[in-house]
Amino acid sequence: TKSLAAWIDRVTPSATAQLEQQVEAMLAEGETLLLLGLGEPDFSAPSHVKQAAIGAIEHNFSKYTATGGIMPLKRAIAQKLRESTRVVYEPDEVMATVGGKHALFNAVNVLCCEGDQVIIPMPYWVSFPEQVKFAGGEPIMVQTDAATGYKLTAEQLESLVTARTKAVILNSPNNPSGAVYSAAELSRLADVCKRHDLWVISDEVYAEFQFTPEGHCSIAAVEGMKERTIVIHSLSKGYGMTGWRLGMAAGPSRIIGAMTVLQSHTTSNPSTMVQQAAVAALTGPQDSIHAVQADYRNRREAVVEGVRQLPGISCEQPDGAFYVWADIGAWIGKQLGGRRIAGADEFCAAVLEDCRIVLMPGSAFGSSRHVRISFSASPAAIEEGLTRLKDWLTRHV
């Protein structure tokens, strides 16, 4: 038979698939595991949001809609992004998508042609380079480290630009590092983007989890950047609605129009009843959601304090999102429970087997000397997990 499409050889399957399979098998056997690697919040949609979805179903609000979303949702998205980015968006400059991942996919695929380079700072969210490769582009990975708070600097960006550079993908607050770019840092990066005529895909899906005094800043708000930035957002993280699959994008109407054409030939509109729920989420009362978001600030303190007491492990305090990016470098080459630790994958496998704790190996995000510890787990699970880890690691020192 003839071969499959060429992208299949370019795109890497999920780096954490093996660990996930092992976890699934253990859970299926009835084992109790502490899940500290999760990428989703532990709260759910407020009840008025659920009621809106139920009402939509009962009223047969269940037919196709406009591809980019019903007008009340587009207006609600424009308003939401006006507040979070401090950029004025009109309804024709926004669209609803099937999750933030889908918004990113649309954006990458309307920007990238064969051979285009897209600059991606490391550590990165797992799908960024794969989506670029899928589109035929070339991801240009750039290492960041603790010295710059895991942030891309303007000098680094400048040094990577070539005639083929099309775009840069920024993610603030960052998954997995928790790094948050300040307005001043974004303004310096924006200078480089304007000088070299680069697009920016700005993934802001963690904007609600923000622990700096300055608050969330979007590069789209820098003078001259709205016209070259696609902002990506989602109800997944901030509203605890990962499974509802409702994302959004904002940018120049030319780009949003092209993304809508692509979406019209692939998924069509996001689920109609979910759109009604999304209007309720964005325009209804925000107090309960603000309260749970604020609770994550307290969890952050507890996790950082706990992680810093683990022998051989260090971390920066995350300024946003709900992850601690822990450096396990001191354990590399050592023995843990009879296993030689070559990197984060072996470290996480040992932690899973000996402590019954699931952590996310940094290899999924481009670093084998880090693990991602999530504070979206309950405070009790976090406390229990960190105590278990400390006792176990202490026995191996």
- Phi, psi of 263, rounded to the nearest 5 degrees: -65, -35
Contact residue for ligand PLP among 34, 35, 37, 39 (CB under 6 A): 39
Q: Which parts of the chain are beta strand (E)? A: 34-35, 94-97, 117-122, 138-143, 165-171, 199-203, 229-234, 247-250, 314-315, 323-327, 335-336, 339-340, 357-358, 360-361, 370-374
Contact call for residue 239 and ligand PLP (CB under 6 A): no
Helix (H) or strand (E) holding 54: helix 47-58
Among 171, 218, 272, 368, binds ligand PLP (CB under 6 A): 171
Closest by Cα among 10, 21, 121 to 367 = 121
The region of 87-95, 211-219, 234-242, 280-288 touching ligand PLP under the rule CB under 6 A is: 234-242
* Residue 174 to residue 157: CA distance in whole angstroms: 17
Residues 306-345 vs ligand PLP: string with x where CB under 6 A? ----------------------------------------
Does position 372 interact with ligand PLP (CB under 6 A)? The reply is no
Locate 270 and state its tokens: 């996001």
Q: Counting contacts by CB under 6 A, is residue 175 touching ligand PLP? A: yes
Q: How far is the CB of 300 from ligand PLP (least distance, A)?
A: 17
Q: By CB under 6 A, what part of segment 54-73 binds ligand PLP? A: none
Residue found by looking up tokens 């005529």 in the block:
197
- Does position 201 bind ligand PLP by CB under 6 A? no
Q: Does 208 bind ligand PLP (CB under 6 A)?
A: no
> Among 138, 203, 319, 327, which residue sits at the site for ligand PLP (rule: CB under 6 A)?
203
The span from the CA of 353 to the CA of 340, in Å, is 14
Q: Find out whether 318 and 334 touch, Cβ atoms under 8 Å.
A: no
Pick the binder of ligand PLP from 89, 105, 125, 375 (CB under 6 A). 125
Which residues, at least 6 apart from 262, have a Cβ–Cβ distance to it below 8 Å?
106, 109, 110
Q: Which stretch binds ligand PLP (CB under 6 A): 42-50, 96-104, 162-170, 218-226?
A: 96-104
Binding site for ligand PLP (CB under 6 A): 39, 99-101, 125, 171, 175, 203, 205, 234, 236, 242, 247
